[in-house]
Chain A
């Protein structure tokens, strides 16, 4: 016997279409209000411009200390987020609004803010050591390290440099010279490095500055790309099904995006380029779902000629329910894994998609289908179904 979780049920989905539409409408409206007059969308560095610095400390630091250090140099207006390695990784976005007549002056001002943040966090760390001619092993680059090791270790130097830097890449930062043993270094190499290098208290993981022109361009391109993608889908679905199905699909997708966006707005998460990709993924899942149902409706219309469209939709939804739940379930499973184990950067992304995967199913049932029904009520067409 096949393992069946869901026998084809007979649920009258369409019965609740008004309730559902009201709920959808309310959610969307709340979202739009929140985005426009409420909290608004928090644009990340990609679209909003500014500087974002990610740093990693050698030893754990309290968020409050970081905030205080920045406040002491008049950089209080920054957003500080703790990264994945609690207390050691921080993401700092300078929020000072810099308005200058000249774009170049603006981006330079942003870069300067970035420098100030780093200097404030570093403080006097390493200055004495640098003065004594020591190098900071936590920030040294390939060339410098090669130059340092070459005189003493000659032919082995390139290989030593590679293994040291590889280990640093995995760890982010060294807290103690003893950690170098993990790179398989001989004791004499470690002693040499202990002698010639010190370990600075922080390293910069990444640093991004986006000026106003670039931000505007990224915004424009992302919007254009999304609009064209939506038009492309509308045309194809209208061609393969009927105009109202295309329109219904676009309605659904718009709602998917709006809801995700308002969730971002409510949860104070920033919109960045990768988030756009996440939203597009949601749109992708949702459209996939919608088309599967529409396809079944198209097929059933040929078989059940006498039935009303509403009944056909109910039948189709019921017939596809097993598939819908299994697919949504597996997708949910995939995303949950990403959300839980995907690390800091992917996590944000997976958050958008987790919501979207549930929302996509709902929108297919309670937005795509009712829109088609209403359209046909508004513009009753001749009988029959175009292929």
Chain B
């Protein structure tokens, strides 16, 4: 045995044992294509958040003007982030300016004669949109967490996209509903209705929806049908909820019980107290769920009914607990992979991979005899390190990832072939066995190094710029090639050093 091999043996053993332990204790995550699950790409309609902000500002301004006796004809929103005040008295110009300067700091305004156009400052607009996306990610995460999905991925992509990946989910429709529902919950007083159609409803209002009311439809799936006229201002909203839980109504049907925060309870008490005998609509995302009649003053708790199934009631609780989304969602991409499709691929892929690796190993041993055994050992080490590293980096194994492994194995075998062919060449030129071996390794090294590094460089770019499957491919490839440099060069050389002595007359290659 040559000198100085001790540390090499130790290093090799340490790495192999380490990789085996990591692989044993941390399992490798399988991608959606193998394990099944949902992949969603959603777009946050950030304008919704801006519209909401604009409407709130208009409501605030109405109150301010009322308080300060400023007269105006109308306050209308023209577009998200823009509204006009019309029909103001020119004599009150200074007063109006004063109010706007003082209370609408996030807004720019231009006052001309009797009308003023007000627009949101660009930086604030940007901030609102940004917030809407961030909040949506947070809200979706909360909802998914309380639904209970193992290892969900919820991340922002670009300006207003969100990627949601939920492995192993077996009821896609329900989960999608859970994620995409805006869940804007409001309690509004019913002014008229229900009526079978709009015309009947509006008869007593001169065919027009009054300014302080809005027309809403009942949710056909729930306990409310037809058209309603309700007050525009909500008595209380989802923000006033302190606690929600699944419960039952007086007929033992699933329902959602709630309790209100003190402030909300005070308002609720007032509204219900003043309107005994009238209907109070419970509105979820602009659809009326139910419109029960107020029998008595209610203070801080109640139930939401609506012909729910147990699951629907459960989901509503989850959604209300996590809070409303600040804006609506659009689906851009929706993939649902069942667990059995992936299961098939995994089984077939594993079998094929095993057959392939075995065939290569047998060929190497037949062709290179003892040296082939050396290559096989190196290849096995390579695979062990690969799986250990995949587990360590918590990488996700996907179908293209398997392709990356195949390329890696191919290049590992190629590295061995390069070295062995070179050793044969040098030996044929009449060099001694040990000399041929070390020359074989040193001369083949540049080719192995350059080809591996070139591929690693390309894989790094693929990882950087690619999406899901391409990323998965890049990860396994990079790990595999780095392991390859170690096993095919370092370990394989070490095995020769350990097994071929200076006195050897023949080299089995």
Binding site for B on A (CB under 8 A): 2-5, 8, 54, 56, 84, 103-104, 107, 111, 141-143, 165, 168-172, 203-211, 213-214, 217-218, 221-222, 224-226, 228-233, 236-237, 240, 273-274, 276-278, 280-281, 283-285, 287-288, 291-292, 294-296, 298-299, 319-320, 322-323, 326-327, 329-331, 333-338, 340-346, 349, 353
Contacts and interface: CB of A to CB of B under 8 A. Distances in A.
Considering the complex of A and B, which 3 residue pairs feature the smallest CB-CB distances, nearest first?
A343-B348, A277-B400, A214-B333
A233 B454 contact: yes
B366 A342 contact: no
Nearest to A293: B447
A335 B335 CA distance: 28
Contacts of A172: 340, 344
A174 B445 CA distance: 55
Contacts of A103: 330, 332
Interface string B344-361: 110111011101110110
A213 B353 CA distance: 36
A316 B333 CA distance: 51
B138 interface: no
B333 A210 contact: yes
A30 B42 CA distance: 40
A346 B399 contact: yes
Contacts of B411: 284-285, 288
Interface centre among B311, B341, B509 (most CB of A within 10 A): B341
Contact of A171 (B338, B340, B447): B340
Q: Is the interface of B mostly helix, strand, loop or mixed?
A: helix
Given A169-B343, A225-B466, A273-B470, A341 B455 contact: no
A207 to B, nearest CB: 5
Q: Is the interface of A mostly helix, strand, loop or mixed?
A: helix
Interface stretch (B47-55, B222-230, B233-241, B417-425): B417-425
B376 interface: no
Contacts of A294: 450
B439 interface: no
B311 A143 contact: yes
Contact of A331 (B43, B410, B465): B410
Contacts of B33: 274, 345
Contacts of A274: 33, 399-400, 403, 469
B248 interface: no
B319 interface: no
B355 A230 contact: no
Contact of B469 (A217, A273, A344): A273
A209 B335 contact: yes
A277 to B, nearest CB: 3
Interface centre among A103, A240, A281 (most CB of B within 10 A): A281
Contacts of B364: 330
Contacts of B454: 233, 236-237, 287-288, 291
B48 to A, nearest CB: 13
Contacts of B332: 103, 107, 210-211, 213-214
A288 to B, nearest CB: 4
B414 A327 contact: yes
Contacts of A169: 339-340, 343
Given A291-B454, A346-B399, 4 more contacts: A5-B367, A209-B335, A233-B458, A331-B413
A205 B351 CA distance: 21
A224 B470 CA distance: 12
A229 B461 contact: yes
A333 B455 contact: no
A301 B340 CA distance: 56
Contacts of B348: 341-346
16 contacts: A142-B171, A205-B338, A222-B466, A225-B466, A230-B458, A236-B453, A283-B458, A284-B407, A287-B451, A299-B443, A337-B353, A337-B359, A338-B349, A342-B352, A346-B402, A353-B406
